[in-house]
A and B are shown apart, each in its own frame.
Chain A
């Protein structure tokens, strides 16, 4: 069974640029959630994708957008990067078939915005 993988591991961008982060779900999972973890904070929910549609969104501006593909992998896109976007971005997959289900996290992508 393959776990959740994310790429790239680290990324450095400058303010105003755009970035795309990628996530491959754990085998058998059909739901992907993205989180932002700033230094010293807990993960903050960005949004979730289920069946290629956004299925819930946290308090993040529209310049944070995403995609889910038929194979349940996912992308997180951030436009017009700001310094405060520097954080660890975590992807978590789960299987939506029960009332609640645990989310399994990838190792994250460390984004630095200069």
Chain B
């Protein structure tokens, strides 16, 4: 049972434009969410997180939005750069907080 879903396997965006990556979850106990970026042959790298007490968190070009009623979060990258091309995973945790559930990933390609 996939509790965290990323329904878009891939996304292509022009350099300088906004990239929006989406993630949906089903477990209402989840209260902490993260985004990871993964390059080939490397482990996932932490990008940004948000707890359920917030609906937005910004870090430079990256902003994560959380809509708890819709059980939906999104990652906005503005402006997108070619170096942002990677696979992005969203992850969620709740309750004990020691298990993170990952989505299947979205492969972002930023076209120069």
Q: Do A and B come from one complex?
A: yes
Spell out B's residues near A (CB within 8 Å).
4, 6, 32, 34, 36, 41-46, 49, 51, 89, 91, 93, 96-105
Classify chain A: how many residues form its interface, as a range.
20 to 34
Most buried by B among A43, A44, A48: A43
Which residues does chain A contribute within 8 Å of B36, judged by CB atoms?
A: 105
User: How near does chain B come to A9, taking the closest CB pair, in angstroms?
Assistant: 9
Number of interchain pairs (Cβ within 8 Å)? 56
Q: Which of A41, A58, A108 contacts B104 (CB 8 A)?
A: A41
The distance in angstroms between the C-alpha atoms of A35 and B91, with both chains bound, is 13
- B44 and A102 form a contact (CB under 8 A): no
Q: A66 at interface (Cβ–Cβ under 8 A)?
A: no
Inter-subunit contact A55/B43 (CB<8 Å): no
Q: Mark A99-111, 1 if CB is under 8 A from B, else 0.
A: 1101111111000
User: In the complex, A106→B32 CA distance in Å?
Assistant: 22
Are B98 and A105 touching (Cβ within 8 A)?
Answer: no
Q: Flag whether A28 is at the interface (Cβ < 8 A).
A: no
Residues of B close to A108: CB separation below 8 A: 43
